[in-house]
Chains A and B, each alone.
Chain A
């Protein structure tokens, strides 16, 4: 094989794109599912982790999302990027995991405090703040929680969140507004 042949072979191998991937997913191409997992597992996991605050529950969401993918592709119309669509699938599979993570958090709160690994004051403070917010998120409606995580934590626009959740933009903004108001109260701050 000449160098040019090798270059062209590499080019052919790497020449697929998202539209091509979507077409193959719709056909049930096994390699497409693997490729999708490899390409998108991290953002799905990051979203799930932020949403539920529990690594085990986040893994369950990742698992359910990709297990549901062959069926979920039926409803994909290509109107949003595949990544956003996958986040939407994750949202649809997150509710029971949010509830179970909240139950675990409550149970842990009731346990006597044990020795904790100290890995730096800053990290400890970050962890404490995150736990506090997750506990507060446990106390607000799930739809508000999801909208808050998408828009405030992941810093998506209300338009992006609306596309992910298949809901009107105004509804998303309203959910975020109410979530912030309630979270401020729960965090012990003045509701300004």
Chain B
């Protein structure tokens, strides 16, 4: 790229480097969703979840992967009950995005906000391994089985799309099993920011490592 175009491109890139959170836009999104919810009643809970103190002076912040508002945790989530709605007609993949997202953002949305049947997932080996581990981790009561399942996934896809999530969840299973030293080692790359995507679970890992350092390994644990 020529020098002037290269420097101008760099300048435009830099213009996006210093953006941060914006409470005013968060408030607008919340109000937009509230407005839609009034029409259908379905998104009321969603709008409430985007709650900001009145006046809009409080920005959302992400910490530990959990929503905090004004430095304190938001109220527990209320999951909108799924609404039985017929699955939409299949949209040809090539046109799916354009079809689903009209340019007029405030178009009537009563139907749009209804949860729909999720598309059937692609089935491949990695998907199966991941879903299996996910189910064992989040819905099972056997951390050893979940750990083995994460290991299976990571062996098959060490750089896979969900490798970071798998490694983090694996560390959590190590904690559940009382293998604190192994857990600390597994969490270390998250804490030092060396795992991709950079910053993923960084704060949680530091917090967990701190807490683990105060715990003694259960009797019989190497």
Residues of A near B114 (CB, < 8 A) are: 28
B13 touches A153 (CB 8 A): yes
Among A19, A66, A71, find the residue whose CB has the most chain B CB atoms closer than 10 A: A71
For window 62-108 of chain B, which residues contact chain A by CB distance below 8 Å? 62, 64-67, 74, 77-80, 82, 88, 91, 93-94, 96-101, 103, 105-106
Residues of A near B80 (CB, < 8 A) are: 27-30
B97 touches A67 (CB 8 A): no
Let me know if B195 is at the binding interface, CB within 8 A: no
Let me know if B142 is at the binding interface, CB within 8 A: no
| Option from B17, B24, B46 in Cβ contact (under 8 Å) with A33 | B46
| Option from B2, B26, B101, B115 in Cβ contact (under 8 Å) with A72 | B101
Tell me whether A68 and B50 are in contact in the complex, defined as CB-CB below 8 angstroms, given that A14-B64, A14-B65 are known contacts. Answer: no
Encoded as 1 (CB less than 8 Å from any B CB) or 0, chain A from 8 to 20 comes to: 1011111111111
Distance A58 CA – B12 CA, assembled complex (angstroms)? 13
A189 touches B137 (CB 8 A): no
Tell me whether A28 and B97 are in contact in the complex, defined as CB-CB below 8 angstroms, given that A15-B137, A38-B60 are known contacts. Answer: no
Encoded as 1 (CB less than 8 Å from any A CB) or 0, chain B from 182 to 212 comes to: 0000000000000000000100100110011
B165 touches A17 (CB 8 A): yes
Task: Give the number of residues in A that approach B within 8 Å (Cβ atoms).
Answer: 83
Residues of A near B222 (CB, < 8 A) are: none
Residues of A near B99 (CB, < 8 A) are: 75
CB-CB nearest in chain A for B114: A28
| Option from B12, B49, B215 in Cβ contact (under 8 Å) with A31 | B49
Distance A190 CA – B12 CA, assembled complex (angstroms)? 21
Residues of B near A4 (CB, < 8 A) are: 215
Residues of A near B26 (CB, < 8 A) are: 37, 41
| Option from A12, A30, A67 in Cβ contact (under 8 Å) with B105 | A67
Let me know if B147 is at the binding interface, CB within 8 A: no
CB-CB nearest in chain A for B175: A11
| Option from B22, B112, B204 in Cβ contact (under 8 Å) with A71 | B112
A75 touches B8 (CB 8 A): no
Among B32, B65, B168, B201, find the residue whose CB has the most chain A CB atoms closer than 10 A: B65
B64 touches A75 (CB 8 A): no
A28 touches B130 (CB 8 A): no
CB-CB nearest 7 A-B residue pairs: A31-B77, A17-B165, A46-B16, A30-B49, A30-B46, A133-B8, A71-B112
12 contacts between A and B (CB under 8 A): A7-B208, A13-B64, A26-B115, A28-B42, A30-B46, A34-B67, A49-B15, A62-B22, A64-B105, A88-B97, A92-B103, A189-B5
The residues of A with any CB-CB pair to B shorter than 8 Å are 3-4, 6-8, 10-20, 23-24, 26-31, 33-35, 37-39, 41-42, 45-47, 49-50, 53, 58-59, 62-64, 66-68, 70-72, 74-75, 77-79, 81, 88-89, 92-93, 95-96, 126-127, 129-130, 132-134, 136, 149, 152-155, 166, 180, 183-184, 187-190, 192
